[in-house]
Amino acid sequence: MFQKILTSALLAGFCAGLSAAALQLFFVQPVLLHAELYEGGDLIHFGADAVSAHPELPGFDPVRDGLSILFTTLIYVGYALLLVAAMGLAEARGVAITARTGILWGIAGFVAFHFAPAISLPPEVPGVAAADVAIRQIWWWGTVAATACALALIAFGKGWLMWSVAAILLLAPHVIGAPHPDEFSGPVPPEIAALFAARALGIGFFAWALLGLFAGYFWQREEQASA
């Protein structure tokens, strides 16, 4: 069984991870590089001179971007292991898993891992002011766990009690509040920060939907092969 989970997750994670890496390099990386010009002081927002919104950006860097491709793929393999394991557990309890229903699972994964944390802790462009990283990570993991439990209760729970618990779990991390900095000191224009957050979330959505599709497909294929 473990081998079946591992095979499906590796295949799904690699396919979705490579897609995510390509999309990130094309849509997110230029925004990040643009922000780094402000972070490093090459460009100054509200300085003496007006600054062009379209500076020349560094091109493809084989080492830096190669590492990004590697790590994106790794992270999506990690997501895939969680997703396929959850799918397998659900299937053992009579839930049908296919590539088509997998898309829904993927979107749920996106909500738990990207969207819910981003509601109170938006994807950060380099150079923004932020609270202590360890505290933000604790809040991030807590939010992911609470949201994942809530989505499972909404999808598979029955009755108002379970749905009420789900609503509390969804809202609690944001009512408690994410750790934010005491002062703002970010040198990056808000236009760039907003575009970065929107792009990071948009690409995350597509990549997770693909991950769900691939996970459902490969899981079902493994199932048929072992039947």
Partner 1 sequence: MTALVQSAAKSSVLPFVAAMVLGLGIITIAGHVQASTLHDAAHDVRHATGFPCH
Interface residue list for partner 1 (CB under 8 A): 1-2, 5-6, 9, 24, 28-29, 32, 64-65, 67-68, 71-72, 74-75, 77-82, 84-86, 88-89, 92, 114, 117-118, 121-126, 130, 133-134, 136-137, 140, 196, 200-201, 203-204
Q: Rounded distance, CA 195 to CA 28, Å?
A: 9
Closest separation in Å from C-beta 69 to partner 1: 9
The residue among 39 and 163 lying less far from partner 1, judged by its C-beta, is: 39
Name the residue nearer to partner 1 (CB basis): 21 or 103: 21
Distance of closest approach, residue 56 Cβ to partner 1, in angstroms:
19
For 75-89, the DSSP string reads HHHHHHHHHHHHHHH
Residue in the structure block whose two tokens are 């750790």 = 179
Cβ proximity to partner 1, 45 vs 180, nearer residue: 180
Full DSSP string of 91-117: HHTT----HHHHHHHHHHHHIIIIIHH
How near is the Cβ of 82 to partner 1 at its closest, in Å? 4
Q: At what angle do helices 99-110 and 62-92 cross, to 10 degrees?
A: 120
Report the nearest approach of partner 1 to the CB of residue 88 (Å): 6
Evaluate whether 177 touches 64 at the Cβ level (below 8 Å).
no
- Closer residue to partner 1 (CB): 124 or 223: 124
| SS3 (DSSP) at 181 | coil
Least separation in angstroms between residue 49's CB and partner 1 is 28
Non-local (6+) Cβ contacts of 42 within 8 A are: none
